[in-house]
Amino acid sequence: MNMSVNASPPWPYPGARWWKFDFHTHTPASKDTGAWQAAIGTPNELTPQAWLLKYMAAEIDCVAITDHNTGEWIDKLKAAYAEMKHEADAGTPPAGFRELHLFPGVEISVQGGFHLLAIFDPSATSQTISDLLAQVDYQGTRGDSDGVTRLGAAQVVERILAAGGLAIPAHVEGDKGLLQVEPGTRKCMMDANTVKAVLREPGILALEWAASNSPVPMVLEELKLRFASVVGSDCHSFQGTAVPGSRYTWIKMARPSLEGLRLALLDGQEVSVRRSDESDGFAPFNTPEHFIESIEIRDARYMGRGRQPAELPLNPYFNALIGGRGTGKSTIVHALRLAYRREKELSLSSEAGQTFKRFNQVARGRNDEGGLRAETSLCVQVQRDGMPYRLIWRQDGQGHAVEEWDAATGSFKPSASQAVTEQRFPVRLFSQGQIAALAGDSQQALLKVIDDAAGTQSQQAAFEEAKRAFLAARAQMRELDGKLQGREALTLALQDIQRKLARFEGADHAALLKNYQRTNRQSRELERQFDASTELATRLKALADDLLAEDLPEGLFDTAEDGPALSIVQALHAAIAKAQQDVERAANVLQERGQVLRGELEASPWFARIDAAKTAYEQLKAHLQQQGVSDPSEYGRLVQEKQRLEIELKKLEALQKQHTELREKAKSLLEQVQSARRAISTQRSAFLQATLQGNPFVRIDLIPYSRDAQGIERSLREVLGAAEGKYVDDLYQEQEGASPKGLVADLLGTVDLVEQPGVWDTAAFEQALLTQKKRLSQACRGQAEFGGWFNKFLKAEADKRPEFIDHILCWFPEDGLQVEYSRKGDGRDFQSIGQASAGQRAAAMLAFLLAHGNEPLVLDQPEDDLDNHLIYGLVVQQIRSNKLRRQLIIVTHNPNIVVNGDAELIHVLDFNQQCHVKQTGSLQDQAMRREVCQVMEGGEEAFERRYQRLGREV
């Protein structure tokens, strides 16, 4: 909701806000308003309504009507405004109408010749001014400054105060000004004692300076009194430069009233008063980018039960929640934590975490813990980039989590995204005890706060991504290692085959083998032929043996009687016998001829050639056998095997090339891991330097990778998976009367040799860290140099988890923080927070939290450990500057935080069967001031400190 510098828009938020106040104006009731005087009785006569519309057009919010020694026009203006307001309320506002708050007043010509503004509450009338002028015995003409009061200046101020007004010396450096100086000097023209007497009057809270850069007279410096500096237009006509809106003062009040003005003037410059000529760039209606508009708690165990939920509207700036113990102040912080889904920000082991856990459960019985009920629901309305949203949380988990404003329907609708994340809805929540815990021994919580504020998320993500890429490359390398394991065996096999084939090549084995194989086949074929003839001869002999005539059956033929037949049978038998002889002779001839022909063959040159080929083959065979080749006919198979092996090796060579490239890539990725890790430290360090530059309370230096031996040891044990207390000799062991020993001691010892005190040599640390990582890696591979048990442990872990070494290489100790605090909060005498009291530690952390960020900051009793000196310094210097850029919601018991921190809105909580908001308002409300004094011990003292001249009444 970014508004222009000058506009005063409708302000929907409760609590104090800035109002544009013109402290010095005139009407035609003042006799020195020439143009207006001349127009009286003519058609151009200035009417009260026309006068009012001019100030409305200039967007003035509050106007003091301060004519010269008269209040004649006050009632006229009030009547005219009442009529305009009535028309506006009826829905028919006059053209140009805008709310305007009229403060009756008068510019009195005081004895001694200076002008004094008297300003009264809007309820005053013309009669109030007439009565005052009578009381101070003004001697001149009403509406003119041709006389002075008979009463002295100090008495006039007293009479104004007694009448319920405020006294402000007018245009003090100009004509008729209390502090007008003699030309070229810093000496007052008026009597110095008179000036001092007026300024010492406790009712003088402000001076009207016509110009902010006017020279200050000596008398003012001598008095060492503080006055608010205000300005008005001193308009005498609507022409020239002194017109409505030309000069005015921003005043912070909850609503326009004399009491609100009085307290603002007591606060003075910057806090509640800002002159228009000193406010370049001042944008009082700019709200933070993100802020909480209201918190609604319905049906919690001790809050919001009944027909109406507990609702707390909030101011975009500083909201204070006060009340006695058990009035529900912390419940509101818990509710915000739930609505913003920030439960995980609290460590369960911490006191704050335990407190929240006790609240964040449904009590089953009267005596059970738990601040919730099954029906509990929370609704936090927030502004995000000018758009209203609702964050909704229900115990039953039903319904929408995020609603957004729909301008078309004028109502809320479920948001397209239901995500409630830190980025989308930022808020910083610190429950009771959390701030003190930040300064504790463990720096993790503080680092988390720094990371959130410094925005290291992108660097952290880059670091994790670099680690993932490195681990992935190393996993690919291991996969290739598996495939490349057979490469050496394949190479040896190929070399063996190549050696065998070389032997073949050297003996012209191909032609010899071919010749031998052909002649061998020929020889075998001829042998087969001769063997077949031999077999035929054998078969013929066997056949001859079977060629026997059959004997005639005995007694069947008679020799005498059957003689002719028997003669023929004999001839047949003779023929058979002859056939047998012929066959046997043929067999013998065949056998003999075959043997002769075999002999002829063996004696022939052809046989000699065959024999030579065989002899050559036998010689080759014997030679190859000496080379390990059992069969000369292996050649073809060896050639095929050689081709197969070469193809396999080519594939493996491609894999080897890939492996080499991966090795280089992994090396480069590991460098990226280190570079990404270094970037996290750089971002943190830059943030701390920028944020705490010149901070009077706290200094935080980042120690890249830390120099804390125990912290580094813990971190290393975590990455190794080494249990606490084991391998202390190898990791870190302090020794009485001697230097510590172990890997961590070696690491820090190396760095200690090169670092100057207080100057962190990051490059030297990284180099020393690399050395120790190499030692661990070698031990994982079995190249032991630690103690036996530790070596065994590392080797076993590496064998079990191949990526074990990779995680060691990616390991970096977490950064350390050197936190120092200023004992007096004055930016000097900084000492280590380790030497600080609990209060000083908490103050340092509070100072840090208040030094950065523009998201809403919710603090639950940050003062628990602080003494009042620290609170006052912190409050005045930091809470006030914080609320210019961010919303603050502070639960507190300390009145200094509320009063001197200048809370725009205060909620007083009380318990009466249920926790409820007893009162809401600002310090301007007298009832609220009484409440602060009653609820908060030391409240009166806090008011006295802020409003040094407040007097008895608070």
pLDDT score for 893: 85
Q: Is 404 contained in some domain?
A: yes
Strand order in the sheet with 914-921: 428-430, 857-860, 888-891, 318-323, 905-912, 914-921
More confident residue, 537 or 104: 104
* Structural domain for 94, as ranges: 17-278
Label residue 564 exposed, middle or buried (CB < 10 Å: 0-12, 13-18, 19+).
exposed
pLDDT score for 2: 37
Instruction: Give the tens place of pLDDT for each residue, 541-599.
Output: 888 888 888 888 888 888 888 888 888 988 888 888 888 898 889 889 888 888 889 88
φ, ψ at 752 (rounded to 5°): -60, -30
Residue type, 181: V
Confidence of residue 387 (pLDDT cuts 50, 70, 90): very high
Q: How far apart are CA 509 and CA 506, in angstroms?
A: 7
* DSSP secondary structure, 345-409, as one string: GS-TTSHHHHHHHHHSSB-SSTTS--SB-TT-EEEEEEEETTEEEEEEEETT--S-SEEEEETTT
Instruction: Judge if 597 and 729 occupy the same domain.
Output: no
Instruction: Judge if 365 and 507 occupy the same domain.
Output: no
Dihedral Cα 616, 617, 618, 621, nearest 10 deg? 120
Q: How far apart are CA 483 and CA 642, in angstroms?
A: 20
CB 148 within 8 A of CB 110: yes
* DSSP secondary structure, 494-530, as one string: HHHHHHHHHHHHHTTHHHHHHHHHHHHHHHHHHHHHH
Residue type, 564: P
Neighbours of 203 (CB within 10 A): 18
Strands 62-65 and 17-25: parallel
Residue 109 has pLDDT above 50, yes or no: yes
Helix axes 605-626, 487-506, angle to 10 degrees: 150
Confidence of residue 1 (pLDDT cuts 50, 70, 90): very low
- Specify the DSSP class assigned to residue 303: B
CATH code, domain carrying 242? 3.20.20.140
Residue 951 has pLDDT above 60, yes or no: no
* DSSP secondary structure, 607-662, as one string: HHHHHHHHHHHHHHHHHHHHTT-S-GGGHHHHHHHHHHHHHHHHHHHHHHHHHHHH
Interval 127-136 mean pLDDT: 96
Confidence of residue 462 (pLDDT cuts 50, 70, 90): very high
Instruction: Judge if 33 and 156 occupy the same domain.
Output: yes
Q: Is the dihedral of CA 336, 698, 454, 285 positive or negative?
A: positive
- The token duo for 863 is 């003062």
Q: Is 130 contained in some domain?
A: yes
Q: Is 454 contained in some domain?
A: no
Residue 617 has pLDDT above 80, yes or no: no
DSSP-derived 3-state class of residue 261: helix
Q: Is 738 contained in some domain?
A: yes
Label residue 118 exposed, middle or buried (CB < 10 Å: 0-12, 13-18, 19+).
buried
Strands 377-384 and 17-25: unpaired
φ, ψ at 186 (rounded to 5°): -115, 25
* DSSP secondary structure, 728-795, as one string: HHHH-EEETTEEEESHHHHHHHHHHHHPPTT---HHHHHHHHHHHHHHHHHHHTT---S-HHHHHHHH
Q: Is 925 contained in some domain?
A: yes
Q: How far apart are CA 217 and CA 196, in angstroms?
A: 12
CB 913 within 8 A of CB 22: no
Tell which of 651, 671, 691 closes a domain: 671
Instruction: Judge if 582 and 731 occupy the same domain.
Output: no
pLDDT score for 6: 41
Confidence of residue 5 (pLDDT cuts 50, 70, 90): very low
- The token duo for 918 is 């007893």
DSSP-derived 3-state class of residue 918: strand
- The token duo for 618 is 């036998």
Dihedral Cα 847, 848, 850, 855, nearest 10 deg? -170
Instruction: Give the tens place of pLDDT for each residue, 761-783.
Output: 999 999 999 999 999 999 999 88
Instruction: Judge if 721 and 866 occupy the same domain.
Output: no
Tell which of 258, 278, 298 closes a domain: 278
CATH code, domain carrying 339? 3.40.50.300
Instruction: Judge if 584 and 661 occupy the same domain.
Output: yes
Percent of the chain with pLDDT over 70: 94
Instruction: Judge if 274 and 303 occupy the same domain.
Output: no
Confidence of residue 954 (pLDDT cuts 50, 70, 90): very low
Q: What is the mean pLDDT of the chain?
A: 87
Residue 141 has pLDDT above 80, yes or no: yes
Q: Bridge partners of 388? A: 383
Instruction: Give the tens place of pLDDT for each residue, 186-223.
Output: 899 988 888 998 999 888 999 999 988 888 898 888 88
- Counting the structural domains of the chain, the total is 4
Inter-CA distances, 170 with 165, 208, 230, 652, Å: 15, 5, 9, 97
pLDDT score for 143: 92
Residue type, 125: T
- The token duo for 772 is 């120790």
DSSP-derived 3-state class of residue 548: coil
pLDDT score for 171: 95
Q: How far apart are CA 193 and CA 839, in angstroms?
A: 47
pLDDT score for 789: 92
Lowest mean per-residue pLDDT among 1-10, 145-154, 395-404, 918-927? 1-10
Instruction: Judge if 641 and 541 occupy the same domain.
Output: yes
pLDDT score for 629: 65
Q: How far apart are CA 68 and CA 62, in angstroms?
A: 19
Strands 402-406 and 411-414: antiparallel
Instruction: Judge if 505 and 534 occupy the same domain.
Output: yes
Q: Is 121 contained in some domain?
A: yes
Instruction: Give the tens place of pLDDT for each residue, 224-273.
Output: 888 999 999 999 999 999 999 999 999 999 999 999 999 899 888 888 89
- The token duo for 287 is 């709200």
SS3 annotation, 201-252:
CCCECEEECCCCCCCCCHHHHHHCCCCEEECCCCECCCCCCCCCCCCCEEEE
pLDDT score for 639: 66
Instruction: Give the tens place of pLDDT for each residue, 638-681.
Output: 667 777 777 776 776 777 788 788 889 999 999 999 999 999 99
Label residue 872 exposed, middle or buried (CB < 10 Å: 0-12, 13-18, 19+).
buried
Q: How far apart are CA 273 and CA 261, in angstroms?
A: 9
Q: Is the dihedral of CA 553, 554, 557, 560 positive or negative?
A: positive
Residue 509 has pLDDT above 70, yes or no: no
Residue 50 has pLDDT above 90, yes or no: yes
Instruction: Give the tens place of pLDDT for each residue, 877-891.
Output: 788 788 878 999 999
Q: Nearest to residue 393, comparing CAs of 381, 405, 379, 403?
A: 379
Across 676-694, b (16+ Cβ under 10 Å) vs e yields bbbbbbebbbebbeebbee
Instruction: Judge if 115 and 60 occupy the same domain.
Output: yes
Q: How far apart are CA 255 and CA 899, in angstroms?
A: 18
Q: How far apart are CA 444 and CA 715, in angstroms?
A: 12
Q: How far apart are CA 390 and CA 381, in angstroms?
A: 4
Instruction: Judge if 848 and 886 occupy the same domain.
Output: yes
Q: How far apart are CA 511 and CA 634, in angstroms?
A: 15
Tell which of 278, 299, 326 closes a domain: 278
Instruction: Judge if 780 and 877 occupy the same domain.
Output: no
Q: Is 601 contained in some domain?
A: yes
Residue 953 has pLDDT above 60, yes or no: no
pLDDT score for 770: 95
Q: Is 639 contained in some domain?
A: yes
